[in-house]
Structure 1
Amino acid sequence: MLRIPRAVIPAFAALFLAAGPVARASRPEALPFRPSPVPGGVAVVPLPGGRPGEATYHGQPLLSRQVGRGWVAIVGIPLDAKPGPDALEADGRTVAFTIRPKRYPIQRVHVADPRLVTPGPEEEARIARERLRIGPAWKARPEGLVPSLVFRRPTPGDLTASFGLRRIFNGEPRSPHAGLDIRAPQGQAVRAPAAGVVVLTGDFFFSGNAVFIAHGEGVVSLLCHLSKIEVKEGQVVKAGDLVGEVGRTGRASGPHLHWSLSLNDARVDPRLFLGSRP
């Protein structure tokens, strides 16, 4: 588990005081996002006895919230999940829920550098090394940080690639699109979609210049293809703080921002959490 240095804990406290009471201190009648129990979506599952408890899904800890008089688990569903019956574990009990089917459209993309579509041995070795660095970032759970589950778009612009697209690069099928692509000019400011702590930055083969922000309780954002990174690992950020500039580094056919959002190490559609915010 990622631990936050004592020196930055007062900064977390200031974040929460500025934002108002954290979610666990209130009893909302509704959650501030749109549940969608499909692959790449989010399921809201009532917990046994209507009380908080330790809940996990495929071995990953889940965040929970009080809604009215009861408690629910908030489950990020992986894009490769099969529709049908599924279950989480809560206090030693199996709690069933159902994943509904969803069919995502196909996107065809041309990339000038063929190595970004079919990497050679040297590139594969680099990708393997980078996965070892990236894996823990997706599971980061900074102590003392509670996500608000209210997000803002990291940069203005039109969506050029929606979440979940089945992508074909240069005629070759590849993994589904696990984020949103926002068209924007080179150098446009990219800002934190919510408060959190920067847990990883770097230049990666596919993602280019990238910033991972842990928002708390296993909620993590990835902002990538940046031309410039303006934050450092361990830095605490507020919603709207500058983290970098739009670019076209990594596997990108033009300047844009890619934003991925992850719950319990499952990439989910960020639009579910945007609501009416810009």
Structure 2
Amino acid sequence: MRKLLLSVLLGIFSLGAHADGFITRLLNHPVPGGVAVVGLPQQTEAPRAQYDGKPVLIIREDGERWIAIVGIDLKTPPGAQQLQLGNGQQITFQVRGKDYEQQHITLRNKSQVNPAPAQLARIQRELDEQLAAYARFSPRQPSNLMLDHPVPGRLSSAFGLRRFFNGEERNPHSGLDFAAAAGTPIKAPAAGEVILTGNYFFNGNTVFVDHGQGLISMFCHLSRIDVKAGDEVARGGVLGAVGATGRATGPHLHWNVSLNGHRVDPAIFIGAFQP
């Protein structure tokens, strides 16, 4: 009887040691535009891993197992994907399918639907700047992975919506919109370094914050910017204020989250993901 009881207890402890931690339960939504949490081989030092040729965020969950937190591009088809480890091994994880709804927007400024040739050079230059910011990978550990809401207010436009401007289809919605009054302070959802600010054709006044290891936030349509590139911001630090600059029909905050260079659903990081 004692041997049987000991066996049962060992089994319980073994299951507990491999149970998903809080971060896995929060973030593991492996869909196009989502996040996959992948368990890694156990070792003393942090493993290294890449996905789609880019380094990924790695943390030690609950002080025990190493996990990779992998951003999945919105165009990724359902099926098997490969995580490449630093030792040459591969780990396979599965991406599930997800359907996204449509959004139809009417803009009075027709150039924001079909820009004039003279505006295209500006748009390309700004795109290159922003892609470089999204591609940044710094060694710092994010201060928190359950992110704070950058502004109070309801979620007004979900991530991944297929968007039609004046009836013409454009890129899917790459972030999360918050309905908030003009002038509402925008706060950093986690600590980080401001790596880019600017006034852009589509995004208006924009701020990029590097939270560490490829986790990047972008905030746009601001009425004003209160920080500059190189500034360190604490969690909750004010970045600027809500506005309607750029391609916007009214005051709101558009918040992007990028992980290993892929735009992913910010709702995942605030516990608001809808399967």
| Contact kept? 1:145, 1:196, Cα under 8 Å | no
The higher radius of gyration belongs to: 2
The correspondence for 1:136, drawn from 114, 118, 132, is: 132
Does structure 1 residue 162 correspond to structure 2 residue 158? yes
The correspondence for 2:22, drawn from 24, 30, 44, is: 30
- TM-score, normalised relative to structure 1: 0.85
Does structure 1 residue 65 correspond to structure 2 residue 59? yes
Task: Report the counterpart of residue 17 of structure 2 in structure 1.
Answer: none
What is the aligned residue count?
A: 248
Q: Which amino acid aligns with 1:95?
A: I
Deviation at 1:145, TM superposition (A): 4.6
Task: Report the counterpart of residue 198 of structure 1 in structure 2.
Answer: 194
Task: Report the counterpart of residue 40 of structure 1 in structure 2.
Answer: 33
Deviation at 1:213, TM superposition (A): 0.3
Q: Deviations over 1:93-137 (max 9, x none)?
A: 121111100001101111111111111211111111112211221
Matched residues in 2 for 1:31 and 1:145: separation?
14
User: 5 Å matches for 1:51-200?
Assistant: 51=43, 52-67=46-61, 69-91=64-86, 92-200=88-196
Deviation at 1:187, TM superposition (A): 1.2
Matched residues in 1 for 2:50 and 2:123: separation?
29
User: 5 Å matches for 1:228-247?
Assistant: 228-247=224-243
Matched residues in 2 for 1:214 and 1:230: separation?
16
Q: Identity across aligned pairs (percent)?
A: 46
127-136 or 202-211, larger mean C-alpha shift: 127-136
Deviation at 1:143, TM superposition (A): 4.2
Task: Report the counterpart of residue 7 of structure 2 in structure 1.
Answer: none
Task: Report the counterpart of residue 214 of structure 2 in structure 1.
Answer: 218
Deviation at 1:234, TM superposition (A): 0.4
Matched residues in 2 for 1:222 and 1:147: separation?
17
Matched residues in 2 for 1:93 and 1:162: separation?
36
Matched residues in 2 for 1:30 and 1:50: separation?
18
| Contact kept? 2:51, 2:83, Cα under 8 Å | yes
Q: Which amino acid aligns with 2:127?
A: R
| Contact kept? 1:225, 1:246, Cα under 8 Å | yes
The residue matched to 2:131 in structure 1 has which SS? helix
Deviation at 1:34, TM superposition (A): 2.9
| Contact kept? 1:247, 1:255, Cα under 8 Å | yes
Cα 1:146/1:182, change in 2 over 3 Å: closer
Matched residues in 2 for 1:253 and 1:198: separation?
27
For structure 1, which runs of at least 5 residues remain unmatched after alignment?
Answer: 1-27
Q: Which amino acid aligns with 1:78?
A: D
The residue matched to 1:243 in structure 2 has which SS? strand
The residue matched to 1:129 in structure 2 has which SS? helix
Superposition RMSD in Å: 1.6
Matched residues in 2 for 1:42 and 1:147: separation?
18
Matched residues in 1 for 2:53 and 2:27: separation?
24
Task: Report the counterpart of residue 3 of structure 2 in structure 1.
Answer: none
Q: Which amino acid aligns with 2:33?
A: G
The residue matched to 1:223 in structure 2 has which SS? strand
The residue matched to 1:45 in structure 2 has which SS? strand
For structure 2, which runs of at least 5 residues remain unmatched after alignment?
Answer: 1-19
| Contact kept? 1:208, 1:251, Cα under 8 Å | yes
Deviation at 1:61, TM superposition (A): 0.3
Q: Which amino acid aligns with 1:74?
A: I
